[in-house]
Amino acid sequence: MREAFRKRWVNRVIQHKRDDEGDYGERVLLHILPGFYMGLFPFSGGFENLFSAYEENEDVHTKDEAWKDYAGAMIGYVIGRTMLWSVVGLGAWYLLKLIVRYL
């Protein structure tokens, strides 16, 4: 009962007009974490290539509309990259503050 409600709720809240199967919300939420990992760590190119190859291969064999997975990964990537640049910017600001203080 709770599982069915959760699935219906997330797919009702997060929708896309191209979604034929009605699972867009679930798949977007599921792929935010891998996208976050790719965005947060700048040297995760191997994982990005592996993720893309896996999704393309899965789409060829199962025809499960991999664009839904890419959408979630892109959302996670933007969140991770924003956090990365926030930390880098904050560190640069603090370093500049220390340099100015001791000059």
pLDDT digits (tens, 9 = 90+) for 41-56: 988 888 999 999 999 9
pTM of this structure = 0.82
Q: Model confidence over 2-22: pLDDT tens digits? A: 666 666 788 888 888 888 888
Q: Within 13 A of 17's CA, how many CA atoms are on the CB side?
A: 0
- How far apart are alpha carbons 31 and 34 in whole angstroms? 6
Instruction: Name the percent of the chain lying above pLDDT 90.
Output: 56
Between the alpha carbon of residue 45 and those of residues 14, 28, 35, the distances in Å are 29, 21, 12
What are the phi and psi torsion angles at 97 (to 5°)? -60, -40
